[in-house]
Amino acid sequence: MQPSYSTRPTMRVNLDNLRYNYETIKKRVGNAKIGASVKADAYGLGATQVGRALYGAGCRIFFVATAGEGKILRDSVGPNSAIYVLNGPSPRDKGVLLGAKLKPVINSLEQAQFWAQVSNSVNEPPYTAIHIDTGMNRLGFDEEEFKEFARDKKLWSALNPEWVMSHLACAPDKDHPLNAQQLAKFKRAAAQLPMTPLSLANTAGTYLGKPYHFQMVRPGIGLYGGYATNTPEQEDIRTVVTLLAPILQIRNINKGESIGYNASYTAPRDMQIAVLGAGYADGIPVLASNKGYATLHDEAVPVVGRVSMDITMVDITDVHMHKEVGGVVVFRGDQLENEASEIGTINYEMLTRMGQRLRRDYGKPEKSNAQPARQKPFKPSKSSGYQKRR
C-alpha cells in the first residue's frame, strides 16, 4: 500500500518544551521578571503561537523589533501584556504604536524628543523604556547624548520611562572582560537617573549570575531551544523546533557522476542519495552545500551537491534502516548547534531563516510529556558516512 505523505516540508514546534525552557529561566533568575524576546516572528517559530504559549505560562512582558511585529503580537496575546518595540519610535509608526498600545524603547536623543512631542499630544501616552549603550555600540544612547538626556528632567518626565536597559555584547563568554565593564558602566549611568527598574541580561547574561539579573531579564534563544553560552553543558534546555524534509526520491548514483547545480559534488563511490523536498527557501542554507548534514533514523546524513531553492540531496548510503519515499529527514532539533557550526553561522540565523511556506505543526509531541533534558549535540562518526565526502 502506498504510504500517505506530503511533499511539503514541516516545521514542528514543541510548545511544551518552550514552556519548560521559560520555567527553567524563571527559576534561575529568582524574583527578576521575564521579558521574552519574540522578535523576528519569535525567532522564526511563529509569534502568534509562541506568544500565546508564553502568555499561558505566565509571561506578561514581551520585546519585538518593530511596531508591525508588536501589532501582530498584540492581536495574539490581548491587551494585558506590555509589548516593547526595541527599534524605537518613528513618525510612520506612530499610529501603530499608539493604536496597539505598544511601548517604544528610546535609543537616542532624537527618538526621545520625537516621542516626547507625541506623548504631549495624546491623552494616554504609553510608557517607555530607555536604552543606554554600554559597550555594544549598536542601539542605545551614546555617552555624550546620555549626559544631555540625564540632565533634562522635563524630557524624562514626558517619556514616562518604566525601565532602563542595556544589552550585553559578550555574555556567552563568562570570562570576557567586557561583561564586567558593561555592568559597571550600566550601574553608573542608572545612578544618574530617577530610580527606575533595570534590565541588562539576555539568555546568556542569566548565566553570569545575580549581579546581572536586576529587575528583569530578556531571554531569546534559550526559550527556543538554542544554546546561549560557550559552555552548553550548564544549560538545562529542551529542543523546541525540528525541520522535517520529506524524501521525494531515492536515487542510486554511480562513482564519478556529479550531483546538483554546478556539478559541485562528484560521487567518490557508488552511492545512494535521498532527494528532499526542502531547500534554501525553507531554511536550509546554500552554505550547507557539500558541508552540512541532517539525520535519518538518528544517523548523520551529509548534504551532497548544492542546496537549491526547493531541493536538498543527502547521502544515505550508509543508513541501513528502512528508507522510503515519503519518509522524513530531520534538520535542526538536537543538532541545531552542530548544523550551524558546520557552515560557519549561529543558531539564531538557522532558526530565523526557516521559510513561510513550511507547514507549521504545533501539536502535542508523539512521546510522553515526561521528556528527558535535551541531549547534547553529537558529532557525526566516521562510520556515518558524514566524513567520507571530505
Q: Is 386 a catalytic site residue?
A: no
Among residues 39, 71, 94, 103, the one annotated as catalytic is: 39
- Cα 185 to Cα 133: distance, rounded to the nearest angstrom: 9
Contacts of 354 (CB under 8 A, 6+ apart): 11, 44, 241, 243, 282, 283
Number of Cβ within a 10 Å radius of residue 108: 18
Q: What is the DSSP string of 106-167?
A: E-SHHHHHHHHHHHHTSSSPPPEEEEB-SS--SSSB-HHHHHHHHH-HHHHHHH-EEEEE--
Burial of 140 (0-12, 13-18, 19+ CB in 10 A): buried
Distances (CA, A) of 192 to 153, 160, 177, 343: 11, 16, 24, 45
Q: Is 39 a catalytic site residue?
A: yes
Cα torsion through 166, 183, 203, 107, rounded to 10 = 10
Among residues 101, 174, 187, 261, the one annotated as catalytic is: 261
Q: Would strands 328-332 and 241-253 be described as parallel, antiparallel, or unpaired?
A: antiparallel
Element (H, E) at 29: helix 15-29
Cα torsion through 203, 204, 208, 209, rounded to 10 = 20
Number of Cβ within a 10 Å radius of residue 364: 10
Which positions are annotated as active-site residues? 39, 261
